[in-house]
Structure 1
Amino acid sequence: MITPRFSCSQTAESVIISVYCPSVRASDVEINVDSNLFSLHINPYFLRLNFTNSLTEDDASSAQYDPSTGYLTVTLTKGIKGQEFKDLDLLAKLLAPRPTVHEPLIEVISSESTAEDPDQLVAQTQNLTLQDRDILEAVKYDWQLPQEVSAESPTLRVGARYGFLDLYSGYFTNVTYTENEVNELRSEAETLTLLERRQRRIQHEDEKWDEEYYMADFADDEYIRELIGWTHPYLSDSNTFAYTEKENATMLNLPRKECVLPPAVYDYLFQYSRTDIPTKSQTHSLYLTLTTVLFSYAYDARTTQHEPTPESAWTICSLTPSFSALDYPPYHGKSGINSPILEFTLDEISASFVPSYRRSLAFPLYRSFVLAEKCRQDVANFLLKGPRTVVRCLMEMKDIMDHHDVYYVYSKVWLDDLCVWTQAYASEETLTHLGNLVRDASITKKSIGWELEQLENFVVQLQAGDQREVDSDDE
């Protein structure tokens, strides 16, 4: 167990305990108050504090977790209002275990030795009441776990950086305890470089690829054809655009950040390796990342008929390389975060969609190359509709992530900032140009790397009966 970093303060009526426990599931918090003993457990953290005076849990008590900062704030009511709690700044004293005093469990009647029948002793032990046995167990297991004051450390840990403009780190430190099924890097997300993440992603995609699954969906594609024939309501010409009250409230709650500088300053930033403000190459990467994020949204929206399911958060995260593997584009040639690429090309756009196609053929329920092509067309149409429609799609994704007790982390490291950037700084002209390129891009089956054409030809031959009669095993 880890002793978290914490601090204590007080008001006339309450004691406030602030605990730093980033990247945890708030629903797993266990809090117990027993007079002056306070205990908190949430994997992988355990905290037990001994106060000088008693506390109570009542209607005025509360516990609030802020995932953006990683702090859990617990407010407990004082047993006696107005009473001063001393030494709240002496953390080691608060962590010291409470002295354990047990009442004698055996009363000595006589010091003379007596010989008793062993069978009689066994019978007496078996006749102990349930309460007596609980007392014996409590004595045997005294849960005074060792604790020590946590060393001070910055909120964002030093190490690998990821997310929007590589601004984030530390969000996957305790990923082992959060049941994050889409994170392919596990706790190594905090140490792997971008190149290592990319290699892990490709390896994981190859491991998950199932050619029999793909052939089955290719052979029986009736429902997939229905999905392809569906039209997204945001792309319907009959709908007039207007943000809902919920969308307006979401926009008001987005973080306020500066994400742009005049073009004349970009060369200076690139020369001095500034990472807090986007350079031209970083902005270039953001536009490409936006297309991959929209692809995941388009796939989930199309396969659920725009009615998100409990699996939607998993689907979106699994299909987005910058979420599941923290691997963002460009994926083409030698381009990267520090290369000053100023123009988009069809080859680069096509290469940016290859990971999305591969993941749509290896992970979700419906695995069809034709369905992936239709989702790319949706992305092109979203971009051609302009920044308002794109922001609406991003906010819909954000709402899905924010309501998941594990995957909300991807809202923090990507979607919040991407919503702000798209709304305030993304150029409508660039989005239109990008939409045209996405529409005209060509992703070949050969570029996927899994011999799709050979598998499809084999299925066609079996269905036509050219080679042999199909038996039950083939089906």
Structure 2
Amino acid sequence: MTTPKFTLSQEPDTITINIQIPFVKNDDLDYLITEKEFYLKVTPYYLKLEFPSEISNSNEQITYDEKTESVNVLLHKQTKGKYFENLEQLKAKTEEINITDSQKDFNFTKNQLPKEKKVKKEEEKEKEKATKKENEKENEKEKEKEKEKEEGGINSLVQKVDKLKIKEKTYRYGFNDLYTNAFELFHSVLDQIIEIPDPKNVSPKERSKRSFTILENKFDPEHYMADYAMEDNLIDYIEYLPFWYPKQEEKKENKQKTFALSEKEQKSLSKLPTKKYNIIQQHTTLLGLVDLLFCYSYDNRINLGDDNPESSWTISKLSPTLSCLENFTSLKELLIKCIKRSISYPLYRNWKLSEKIIQDVKQIIKSGKMMIVKCLLDLKNIFDLTTNRYIFSKIFINDYCTWVNQLENEDLFQNILEELNELKLNQNDIGWKLNKLEEIVKIVKLEQKNNNK
């Protein structure tokens, strides 16, 4: 387990602990208070603090600050006015205790945690467990020393070199390649979130290869033909007019619709961490935005603008940026991947529908920065409400919201819009012989029609 960064301060009657814990969701934390100790656990982080004097195991206050991604703990001293010597130099203990055996889980709410009654841990059991762990550690150390002596220290040196090599091969991902350890919390459910195992040890090139292989095996020609045969059933989705299009009266008056964030959206935006970005690959970052808008538009259109509990799954599966942590340098390559996913994963798989989604992306970008932010905030809300996929907000959506909102010059959006308008894709670009599959359906339908005469 990893010890998180923390700071301590005190007032005459209270102690404040600020604990830095990124990538955590509200209901993932467990904590415990005993006479002189405070424990906090959220995989892979573990913190144990032993105070010089007793603390109260009631009336504690715990809040989560989404902006700084930190947990703030306010504890009360058992003896009011007592000064805790050298509190600022207090170091975390390393021995662990199973908090969940002694403490019920509690649930976060945004910026506010409910109070929970704490259960004391018997000191004797804790000391006994700590002693046992220390003995085990000492035995392990002795064994390692003996092994090193026997093998002349060569194996130890090789292991150190190997570790250095592994560190050199750690790969980044997420918005602007800012993250490396975001998925450490999700080992047991990683395959339910992304399609890349242990992503920090998989190169971008290998991610793309794996994405290609998975996608080629996923495409189902029969499903595609069945949807094409029943294309009339998709008319409502194809003709649906999402909120980013001007209404009929606005079209008649030839007015350019302006968009403003709602009070709720403004509040959500204000809670995001304030960051300044040094964008390494600007075009790649913009292509990631196009990808997110594509999968968001698809979900919005097939749900006719309504909420759907399956939205987070649909969006993440349609997006190669999210599902495989891919980076793109070519708009054509990106859109081919997006279209392939849109006719491989969701319930409705249709070429015309996918073409309509590309038009949606163009319209959103054409509508300007605030419309893009509006869509991203809605996307963030979809992921924030899910059990595991909230991590996409942490490593992609939050940063995109902040970055887009900070941009003063909207020429970037105009440039990518021009690129979208100039790019012409056809079914041959996809490589799955879609036109032949559709031709087969037409022939079968014609034969059925002739047989019915």
Same fold, TM-score > 0.5, yes or no: yes
Is the 1:377–1:438 Cα contact (8 Å) retained in structure 2? no
* 2:56 alignment partner in structure 1: 56
Distance 1:86 1:418 in 2: 45
Q: CA deviation at 1:355?
A: 0.9
- 1:168 is aligned, of 170, 179, 200, to 179
Alpha-carbon separation, structure 2, partners of 1:211 and 1:303: 21
> Which structure has the bigger radius of gyration?
1
After superposition, give the CA deviation of every residue in 1:369-394 in whole Å (9 maximum; x if it has no partner).
Answer: 21111100111122222333223222
User: Which of 213, 218, 238 pairs up with 2:223?
Assistant: 213
Alignment deviations for residues 244-288 of structure 1 (CA, whole Å, 9 cap, x no partner):
2223334444444445xxxxxxxxxxxxxxxx344xxx2222332
Q: Tell me the SS of whatever aligns to 1:27.
A: helix
Give the counterpart letter for 2:260 in structure 1.
A
1:195 CA displacement: 1.1
Shift of 1:213: 2.7
**1-structure distance, mates of 2:423, 2:444:** 32
Cα distance in 2 for residues equivalent to 1:316 and 1:97: 39
Indicate yes or no: 2:241 matched with 1:231: yes
**Alignment check: 8 A CA contact 1:171 1:409 kept:** yes
- 2:265 corresponding residue in structure 1: 247
Give 1:419's match in structure 2, choosing from 392, 395, 401.
401
Aligned to 1:458: 440
* Distance in 1 of aligned mates of 2:49 and 2:273: 35
State the distance in 2 between where 1:143 and 1:313 align. 43
- Closer, same or farther in 2 for the Cα pair 1:413/1:226, shift >3 Å? same
1:367-446 equivalent positions in 2, closer than 5 A: 367-425=349-407, 427-446=409-428
Within 5 A, what are the aligned runs for 1:78-97? 78-86=77-85, 88=87, 89-91=89-91, 94-95=93-94
CA contact (8 A) 1:23 1:173 kept: no
Alpha-carbon displacement from aligned partner over 1:49-83 (angstroms, at most 9, x marks no partner): 544443334344215264x7654443332222233
3-state DSSP of counterpart to 2:364? helix
On the 8 A contact 1:43/1:177 being kept in 2, the answer is no
Q: Which amino acid aligns with 2:183?
A: F
The alignment's C-alpha RMSD in Å is: 3.5
Residue 396 of structure 1 and its aligned partner are, at CA, apart by 2.3
> Which of residues 199, 213, 216 in structure 2 aligns to 1:189?
199
| 2:193–2:388 CA contact under 8 A, matched in 1 | no
Does residue 40 in structure 1 map to residue 22 in structure 2? no
Amino acid at match of 1:435: L
Structure 2: which 5+ runs fail to align? 98-123, 138-166, 251-256
Structure 1 gap ranges (5+)? 99-137, 149-156, 260-275, 332-348, 471-475
Residue-by-residue CA offset, 1:443-467 (whole Å, 9 max, x unaligned): 2223223332333333333333369
SS of 1:362's partner is coil
TM-score, length basis structure 2: 0.72
Structure 1 CA distance for aligned equivalents of residues 317 and 82 of structure 2:
53
Moved more, 365-374 or 76-85: 76-85
Equivalent AA in structure 2 for residue 229 of structure 1: E
What's the secondary structure of 2:74's corresponding residue?
Answer: strand
Q: Which amino acid aligns with 1:317?
A: S
Read off the aligned partner of 1:41 and give its amino acid letter: K
Corresponding residue of 2:144: none
Higher helix fraction: Structure 1 or Structure 2? 2
1:30 equivalent in structure 2? 30
Q: Any idea what SS the aligned residue of 1:198 has?
A: helix
Q: 1:452 to 1:71 in 2, by over 3 A?
A: same
Identity of aligned residues (%): 28
TM-fit CA distance, 1:227: 0.5
Q: Distance in 1 between matches of 2:261 and 2:390?
A: 23
Structure 1 residues 143 and 283: alpha-carbon distance in aligned structure 2, compared to 1, 3 A threshold: same
How far, CA to CA, are the matches of 2:339 and 2:78 in structure 1? 60
* One-letter code aligned to 1:406: N
Residue identity in the other structure for 1:170: N
Q: Deviations over 1:32-55 (max 9, x none)?
A: 223334443333445555444433
Query: Could you tell me which amino acid in structure 2 is paired with residue 455 of structure 1?
Result: L
Distance 2:200 2:34 in 1: 38
Q: 1:426, CA displacement in angstroms?
A: 6.8
Distance 1:245 1:236, change over 3 A: same
Name the SS of the counterpart of 1:5 in structure 2: coil
Hey, what's the Cα distance between the residues in 2 that align with 1:283 and 1:8? 36
Offset at 1:360? 1.1
Which has the larger displacement, 43-52 or 321-330? 43-52
Matched residue type, 1:30: D
Cα 1:422–1:462 change in 2 (3 A) is same
Q: Counterparts of 1:316-335 in structure 2 under 5 Å? A: 316-331=315-330
| 2:333 aligned residue (324, 334, 351) | 351
Provide TM-score, normalisation by structure 1. 0.69
> What secondary structure sits across from 1:56 in the alignment?
coil
- For residue 391 of structure 2, what is the amino acid of its counterpart? V
Q: Distance in 2 between matches of 1:30 and 1:184?
A: 29
For the structure 1 residues 14 and 464, does the alpha-carbon distance in structure 2 shift closer, same or farther, using more than 3 Å as the test?
A: farther
1:430 to 1:7, Cα distance in 2 relative to 1, 3 A: closer
Matched, 1:13 2:13: yes
Distance 1:97 1:225 in 2: 59
CA distance in 1, matches of 2:268, 2:28: 26
Task: Work out which of the residue numbers 166, 177, 202 in structure 1 matches 2:212.
Answer: 202
Amino acid at match of 1:319: L
Partner of 2:110: none
Distance 2:64 2:414 in 1: 43
